[in-house]
Structure 1
């Protein structure tokens, strides 16, 4: 058995994989594959409608918001958000908490002025900045809720006088949030919601229509809303698997239920990191992510042997990002706590063998 701690594309529930495989061969008894049915068919429209309905239910999306399934990954949203929200000559505020936040602000500079209101760059992003002023003359403020590479996470979200745009790619549906605190939420599906190839966008309708520039139809949120995520052929299979994953999440007690599981997984693993003298965490304790647990060995000579030991135990995807090194255990929604305990056991056994 493999224990998949990969950072993304990440682990999916086994039952979802089984259902998706069946759908590839014979979707809902149609005798056709989900890969070959028309996106305009009643069969696929029911998939898309259910996916949208589940997002609204699981995240308690208020009235006045639209739910979109878009292509291009979260990285496209780095540009689409300012394209649609930042007027020519206007200003946007950004909180820089990692590589992806940095890439997002670089894209925004193509459309207007960017003010970095807070950054953790000087510490190699080992903490979340908390004391900063939100400029009221900015069109929006952009944040990244969870930093996959560095293992930090915003534990609380602030009330803002301007729209908040949030990249939730690596912790979407992992914990309860108040959607009404945000003007725009976007998330690549491939960590907690489905496979790579589709991006979830939740947008407050009244923040649109405030820029004068001409926006190409494919990049225009309003056009996508009017087209019901089907202005062009959508990524049907990725939406289907996302819908199955959202069904699975609902059956597990929804976001509130999975949040309890995620808290238990994170607590168990961080407890072992802090207890075990061979390992140590890399970021501020109060900002530790419950999705991406980053840690290193006290003795660099132990790094490769521990990776090899994990491989022998069927623990995969544990190697840290090249910019941080060490180890990264991504404990997304679908990873069972039993896999976390396998990793903990491996850490304890490695300690015993290296006293």
Structure 2
């Protein structure tokens, strides 16, 4: 039987959201001058605008795109885009292949009740056939499937001159994968995913084409205040210069700024991409070499470099009841959490029974390496009935 390892990860944070803080993070890295001040003060607005400007710089967002801070994390930003942009007498395609993409389908079907709707779905670990997406349609999709580990390998399925808008949920992709901004009209993400910052705030990035749609179109449904991006029939540019729709947390803002400045000092987004790639390679190489697990995503080109998901296989696993199969990853994850080896890496509750290890840039490669022998040990303990 595999002996219990002795070397633990120094930072056992492998959650897929909120993700690990950046290496060296501590409370004293956060500037506090804006705390206890109004977000409408000159200082508060300047810090919010700095967070916006630094995000835009770090992500390589084109100058003529607008970037704004939104409430309610990625969900709030994405639903603001859907409620504001869709239903313009234009067909809509919503593509989903995991839990969060399915939420956008439910929004389109049950809440917005879009009349001309095409739904494209695929099982966990797979991608739908994007060739079925008409180029005249507006399309809502998730760049990186947070709960399946499947990402789009490219945007070749989107024509450069397409007339429809694209709404892109990029929350587990930005700062780990390059965005094709020329083909993206409304892109959203949350601070608490790839950068490991605090939750409840999201970002909305709008192309000139999306801005034109907002200014020329009024949806037939009511818009709550949190989704209202227009003022006097024009885009409210103040929202994209730090005058947020509602009160943000300045503590969360300063924490996000600290993460951005860490990434900037590291070398920018290319350095973040390299760290995520290296972390994911350690894990995916181990998965390929381990006969009793497999990557949830069979196509190598579609595998993420952030939340890598893997499932169990083999004769012993197949001999278990469905209930025991579902319990295995939970047992392994909970056992290693109690030993302070790895936190929060059980698969998502709606996904197939699996483990999901976050490999984004705020995780150290050595910690990923140290986690794997512990998973092997816990698996052997489970086989022996010791968990």
Q: TM-score range by the shorter chain?
A: 0.7 to 0.9
Which residue is equivalent to 1:8? 17
Whole-angstrom distance in 1 between the partners of 2:269 and 2:332 = 34
1:266-285 aligned at under 5 Å gives the runs 266-285=280-299
Whole-angstrom distance in 2 between the partners of 1:74 and 1:284 = 28
Gaps of 5+ in 1: 29-33
Q: 2:205 aligns with which of 198, 202, 205?
A: 202
Q: State the Cα distance separating 1:130 from its structure 2 match.
A: 4.0
Q: 1:292 aligns with which of 279, 283, 307?
A: 307
Q: State the Cα distance separating 1:254 from its structure 2 match.
A: 0.9
Whole-angstrom distance in 2 between the partners of 1:280 and 1:148 = 17
Whole-angstrom distance in 2 between the partners of 1:147 and 1:49 = 29
Q: 2:175 aligns with which of 159, 173, 176?
A: 173
Q: Deviations over 1:164-209 (max 9, x none)?
A: 1100111221122232220010012211232101101111133322
Q: Is the 8 A contact 1:75 1:104 kept in 2?
A: no
Question: Secondary structure of the equivalent of 2:24?
Answer: helix
Q: Is the 8 A contact 1:146 1:154 kept in 2?
A: yes
Question: Secondary structure of the equivalent of 2:187?
Answer: strand
Whole-angstrom distance in 2 between the partners of 1:183 and 1:304 = 39
1:317 aligns with 2:344: yes
Whole-angstrom distance in 2 between the partners of 1:252 and 1:58 = 11
Provide TM-score, normalisation by structure 1: 0.87
Which residue is equivalent to 2:252? 238
Gaps of 5+ in 2: 1-9, 318-324
Whole-angstrom distance in 1 between the partners of 2:311 and 2:134 = 38
Question: Secondary structure of the equivalent of 1:265?
Answer: helix
Question: Secondary structure of the equivalent of 1:316?
Answer: coil
Q: Deviations over 1:189-243 (max 9, x none)?
A: 2112321011011111333223233645431223453343424323322222111
Q: State the Cα distance separating 1:332 from its structure 2 match.
A: 2.2
Question: Secondary structure of the equivalent of 2:215?
Answer: coil
Q: State the Cα distance separating 1:270 from its structure 2 match.
A: 0.7
Q: Deviating runs (4+, > 6 A) in structure 1?
A: 351-355
Whole-angstrom distance in 2 between the partners of 1:288 and 1:273 = 12
Provide TM-score, normalisation by structure 2: 0.80
Q: Deviations over 1:248-301 (max 9, x none)?
A: 111111111111111111111011011112322222232222111111233248
Q: Is the 8 A contact 1:83 1:215 kept in 2?
A: yes
Moved more, 202-211 or 177-186: 202-211
How many matched pairs?
342
Q: Is the 8 A contact 1:291 1:332 kept in 2?
A: yes
Cα RMSD of the aligned pairs, angstroms, is 2.5
Q: State the Cα distance separating 1:57 from its structure 2 match.
A: 1.0
